[in-house]
Structure 1
Amino acid sequence: MAAQNLYGPGVRMGNWNEDVYLEEERMRDFLDKREKGELLIQRNRRLKKNILRPMELSVTEDGFAHYGDKVILVNPDHPRGEEAGLFQEGDLSLCMSPDEVKAQISDELEVPCGVSAVRTTTPTGRNTFTILRDSTNSDAVDPVLRYGQNFCLGIPAGLECKTHRHLFLRTYFGKEVEVAAHTHLDSHRVEKPKNHWMLVTGNPRNKSTTMLDVPKPPSDDTRAVEQVMGINT
């Protein structure tokens, strides 16, 4: 005997009253969180807006880096070495990489946090660091960062870093390049390019760019050729 539907679509069955109350409670909870800005999508938007906001780097007048300067750390582009497989070319900047799970439940960046390298030299809240004194020279009065001095960064990160341009990791912002604290030396005991990091300051002619965007002056050979050709420089 075939089963028959003895009830019409408008008939309520089971704990229908509880289901209605639960649905209303979920809606009230949703509206309350939206009003307070506590929805997951709202948290994500605020966090990304904060750490991806444009930043202005410090402009140096004397050519030195100073304590308190805002800079970006850049691993300059270099040829592939012994790495095999995929290889990220271009200038890479050190960026903070928040924990994906913790970023979902907090509006603020939790420190210390991980770091990664990204192919960009545009200053943002994510890759802009402040040079700070460490405990060994906290009483010094010289504002200039000298060679060999220990220093700290406004966002915790290792200073003796290397880039694994052939190793990629999934971060809160997508696929990026791994950064590790290790020193690689060649046969002459010289650090390899993957260990080279530059402190980059702002462009005095355009505060939205960096010193990497300033055209390099022509070499002596170029000037000689231009003089022979009658080109004014």
Structure 2
Amino acid sequence: MSHVKAYRGHVKTGNWYEDLRLKEDETKEYLEEKERGELVFQKVDFLKQNMLRPVDLTVTRDSRLHFGDVVMLVNAGGENRECSAVSINADINSVAKVPSPGIQAPCGVSAGRCIQACTRTAFIITSVDGSPEGSTLLYEQSFALKTTCGFARGLYLTSDLQTFQKCAKNSRLQEVNLDEGCSFLSSWKIVHFDPQERLEYEGQPAPANVKVLIKHCKTNQALAALGDQVLWTMFGKEYEVTAHTFLDSHKAEKDSNHWILCTHDPAGNGLLLLNHPQSAAKNEELSQANPGI
């Protein structure tokens, strides 16, 4: 008789009522979170939508950098790196809703391989010594790099001496991040990439779309993109960004320290560096031949 069914198929057994209530509660909670936009996929979509929103870079007609210019910091790549740009490395936990949706400080940075002008990659050259907006930035002159306002909250690219508690996540070198307020920790300077010509160019106008070094004023370490240190971000696999000077056998900085402050093409065809590499190279030649122009 063991094969005889004691109950029919429609008979409910066990804690069926409790299970039903739990399922109803889960469904209700899911719908409420969806209505408030608190589901994980909604947070990810919201973050990407705001971070990848296009930004108009400054159009420079005199091939120089100026205070107030909106630029991208691009590393042309090297032996173990692709072309990349300094980017805000934010995740869903980095977004604050008060007083308005935006990135909360401190926030990390990375070198993303997606070279497009957007909220995530745009930085504003900001004066720290009282220089008026629109005036020309000079080699060795202190300045700050600030994210755009709005969702990016106008945070400053900042660095400080490395310690056991504060250092880059993978390489353990000097950390670079974004923080509120402009201070000496957020002061940088542009240096000519060739050490033999550095003294000659000091005090001369800094060029746009030309290879330079970006050094931290307090620590004198150069901004670097590390191809051998990979970060997994919300936007894919990217390179770690630190402040550390890498020297070759000739005591010159390696290409991981070489950066190009990119602007838009006056003809309206996007980034000058990517669309007209010959023009950018020509600007560099002219700048080297005539440092005072």
Structure number with bigger Rg: 1
Which runs of no fewer than 5 residues in structure 1 stay unpaired? 81-86, 220-233
CA 1:3 to 1:168, structure 2 compared with 1: closer, same or farther past 3 Å? farther
Q: Find the counterpart in structure 1 of residue 204 from structure 2.
A: none
Q: Find the counterpart in structure 2 of residue 141 from structure 1.
A: 132
Identity across matched positions, percent: 36
Specify which structure has the bigger relative contact order, considering alpha-carbon pairs within 8 angstroms and separated by 6 or more residues. Answer: 1
The residue matched to 2:111 in structure 1 has which SS?
A: strand
Which runs of no fewer than 5 residues in structure 2 stay unpaired? 148-155, 158-175, 177-213, 215-221, 283-293
The letter for the 2-side match of 1:56 is D
- The superposition leaves residues 42-94 of structure 1 with CA deviations (integer Å, 9 ceiling, x where unpaired) of 1111110111122211112332212221110011234x2xxxxxx233x2211
Q: Find the counterpart in structure 2 of residue 38 from structure 1.
A: 38
CA 1:215 to 1:101, structure 2 compared with 1: closer, same or farther past 3 Å? closer
Residue 143 of structure 2 is aligned to residue 151 of structure 1: yes
Tell me which of 110, 118, 129 is aligned to 1:124.
118
**Offset at 1:2?**
4.7
Partner Cα separation in structure 2 for residue 153 and residue 9 of structure 1: 70
Equivalent residues in 2 for 1:70-85 (5 A)? 70-78=70-78, 80=79
CA contact (8 A) 2:127 2:143 kept: yes
Partner Cα separation in structure 1 for residue 2 and residue 54 of structure 2: 69
Partner Cα separation in structure 1 for residue 119 and residue 96 of structure 2: 20
Residue 81 of structure 2 is aligned to residue 88 of structure 1: yes
- Aligned-residue CA RMSD in angstroms? 2.7
Partner Cα separation in structure 2 for residue 69 and residue 122 of structure 1: 16
The letter for the 2-side match of 1:119 is R
The residue matched to 1:216 in structure 2 has which SS?
A: helix
**Offset at 1:179?**
1.9
Partner Cα separation in structure 1 for residue 138 and residue 242 of structure 2: 24
The residue matched to 2:228 in structure 1 has which SS?
A: strand
Residue 248 of structure 2 is aligned to residue 186 of structure 1: yes
The residue matched to 2:102 in structure 1 has which SS?
A: coil
Q: Find the counterpart in structure 1 of residue 93 from structure 2.
A: 102
Residue 68 of structure 2 is aligned to residue 68 of structure 1: yes
Tell me which of 105, 109, 116 is aligned to 1:115.
109
Partner Cα separation in structure 2 for residue 53 and residue 200 of structure 1: 18
Residue 271 of structure 2 is aligned to residue 210 of structure 1: yes
CA 1:20 to 1:176, structure 2 compared with 1: closer, same or farther past 3 Å? same
CA contact (8 A) 2:225 2:242 kept: yes
Aligned residues, how many? 206
Q: Find the counterpart in structure 1 of residue 51 from structure 2.
A: 51
Give the alignment's TM-score, normalised by structure 2: 0.62
Q: Find the counterpart in structure 2 of residue 223 from structure 1.
A: none
CA contact (8 A) 2:75 2:259 kept: yes
Which aligned segments of 4 or more residues in structure 1 are displaced greater than 6 angstroms? none
Partner Cα separation in structure 2 for residue 170 and residue 32 of structure 1: 31
CA contact (8 A) 1:44 1:104 kept: no
CA 1:20 to 1:166, structure 2 compared with 1: closer, same or farther past 3 Å? same
Residue 259 of structure 2 is aligned to residue 197 of structure 1: yes
The letter for the 1-side match of 2:126 is L
Q: Find the counterpart in structure 2 of residue 222 from structure 1.
A: none
Partner Cα separation in structure 1 for residue 262 and residue 255 of structure 2: 17
